[in-house]
Structure 1
Amino acid sequence: MRFVGIDPATTTGVVILDADGNPILETVIRGKGRSAPGGITQEQRVSLENQLYKILQPGDQVMKEGIANGSQMLITTAKIHGGLESMITRKGLTFDEIAPLAVKKFVDVASWVGEPGKKVLLKGKAKKQAVAAAALEHFGYQHTSDDVVDAYIIAKIAEAVYQVRNREKILDDFELIYQREVIWSIIDPDGYKEYEKAKKKKTNKRRGKPAATDSHTQNTEQTCLF
């Protein structure tokens, strides 16, 4: 059993964990061949796809990051994602897809930071540094490549999702609520959407009931998963 995390891009981060959650592959793969400014050539894209195909093995539990909203160079990004997904399928595997924001949420990195009224968008180098620091804090993991760090977090999510789906663990075994929510959103997206709707209603309505009522509602929703 292996857990594979993939962070697709022109330089694609790939991390594979063994059955005990230990890294056995931490790498960045790049397409080889003729290059072109501002994107990736067909030659490079095919090379990138072939490299991933050789890495994957039967039985792998695969999770890849999806395309970010507002992604620049959307056509190039879509081609890369589509090609890598095709390689996963050709290998006889299935995969889960996770939103970039959910990857960061799993290690408690928010998009906006700062005091209310003075919040700023976390982006660029600052965002990468925050994710790297969070991976070290949560898992004791560090790597010189930001792409590999992202892929490692994705692989850890793949491991957690597998454990819950196969009843090796339940959601409550994960102490951090933001990690439980990320796992839940993948294994039961419809149920999680209802939970999010209910949570927003509680936040927006005028408070009139004791906190215990809210807690009971949330526990009931979580129990329904299993």
Structure 2
Amino acid sequence: MTRFIGIDPATNTGVVILGANGNPIREVVLKGKGKSAPGGITQEQRVSLENQVYSILKPDDVVMKEGIANGNKMLITTAKIHGGIESMITRRGLKYDEVAPNAVKKFVNVSGWIGEPGSKQRLEGDAKKEAMAAAALEHFGYSNPRHDVVDAYIIAKIGEAVYRVRSGEKTLDDFKLDYQREVIWSIIDPTGYKEYEKTRKKKSKKSNKRPGKPAAAGSHTHSAEQPFLF
């Protein structure tokens, strides 16, 4: 039976398993057991965490994990956790897709910024957690008191959507929300999506250009002494 696994790797790793019908059958936060280290994770804890992830996975699971965020403040620790989890997935004989943190937020229409143009601030900490919780409830009717689980649930839903399009059960057009369609597309066809983004940005730049000043009536040229103002 196909299961959809969403993994949000961290020292507290959120994992949500969806059944074939897309409903959650397991929601858990995994934490490595053993001696702790301030601001990081010990090898003992990391191995314990990896073993727990390995024990959850089964053949035929469809796995989606969140990637490492740009500007991560604990990059070495985060990279070790991600690498260990990826190794466990591979040892289980499974493949996985990766979704960028910003794309996870985009899938439920959460912006990475708050405030008005010119004074925007990055959405972080409790504000991000609350925004993601509200968005999961709005889009899927899903709630959980653990933010790690909420993120893992959204990641699992992305994995389910990607699987259903790849398998032919659905098409991109079946997803009516533009932002969800774009996230799915970016994972299934990253090259095609990048070209789409380039084209869209070019069009946006052209439309934002200030129109030129109209020429004076009856004339389409400037005199030699007339300064150019545009």
TM-score normalised according to structure 2 size: 0.89
Partner secondary structure for residue 88 of structure 2: helix
* C-alpha deviation, 1:121, in angstroms: 1.7
* C-alpha deviation, 1:164, in angstroms: 0.4
Question: Are 1:169 and 2:170 an aligned pair?
Answer: yes
- Distance in 2, matches of 1:193 and 1:91, equals 32
Kindly provide the amino acid, as one letter, of the partner of residue 102 in structure 2.
Answer: L
- Distance in 1, matches of 2:138 and 2:45, equals 35
Kindly provide the amino acid, as one letter, of the partner of residue 116 in structure 2.
Answer: E
Partner secondary structure for residue 34 of structure 2: coil
Kindly provide the amino acid, as one letter, of the partner of residue 199 in structure 2.
Answer: A
- Distance in 2, matches of 1:182 and 1:65, equals 13
Superposition CA RMSD, Å: 1.1
| Aligned twin of 1:103 | 104
| Aligned twin of 2:80 | 79
Question: Aligned ranges for residues 118-157 of structure 1 at < 5 Å?
Answer: 118-157=119-158
| Aligned twin of 2:228 | none
| Aligned twin of 2:218 | none
- Distance in 2, matches of 1:83 and 1:120, equals 33
* C-alpha deviation, 1:118, in angstroms: 3.1
Instruction: Write out the 4+ residue segments of structure 1 that deviate beyond 6 Å after TM superposition.
Output: none
* C-alpha deviation, 1:207, in angstroms: 7.5
| Aligned twin of 1:201 | 202
Gaps of at least 5 residues in structure 1 are: 209-226
Question: Aligned ranges for residues 1-226 of structure 1 at < 5 Å?
Answer: 1-206=2-207
Partner secondary structure for residue 205 of structure 1: helix
Partner secondary structure for residue 25 of structure 1: strand
Partner secondary structure for residue 202 of structure 1: helix
- Distance in 2, matches of 1:163 and 1:121, equals 33
1:60/1:201 CA distance change after superposition, 3 Å: same
Kindly provide the amino acid, as one letter, of the partner of residue 72 in structure 2.
Answer: S
- Distance in 1, matches of 2:186 and 2:23, equals 25
- Distance in 2, matches of 1:189 and 1:206, equals 26
- Name the one with the larger helix percent: 1
- Distance in 2, matches of 1:49 and 1:123, equals 27
- Distance in 2, matches of 1:136 and 1:22, equals 14
Partner secondary structure for residue 128 of structure 1: helix
- List per-residue Cα deviations over 1:109-139 (Å, max 9, x = no partner): 0011222223222111101100000000000
Percent of aligned pairs with the same amino acid: 74
| Aligned twin of 2:222 | none
- Distance in 2, matches of 1:179 and 1:206, equals 25
- Distance in 1, matches of 2:102 and 2:173, equals 22
Partner secondary structure for residue 163 of structure 1: helix
- Count of aligned residue pairs for this structure pair: 208
Partner secondary structure for residue 148 of structure 1: helix
Kindly provide the amino acid, as one letter, of the partner of residue 158 in structure 1.
Answer: G
Partner secondary structure for residue 97 of structure 1: strand
- Distance in 2, matches of 1:41 and 1:113, equals 35
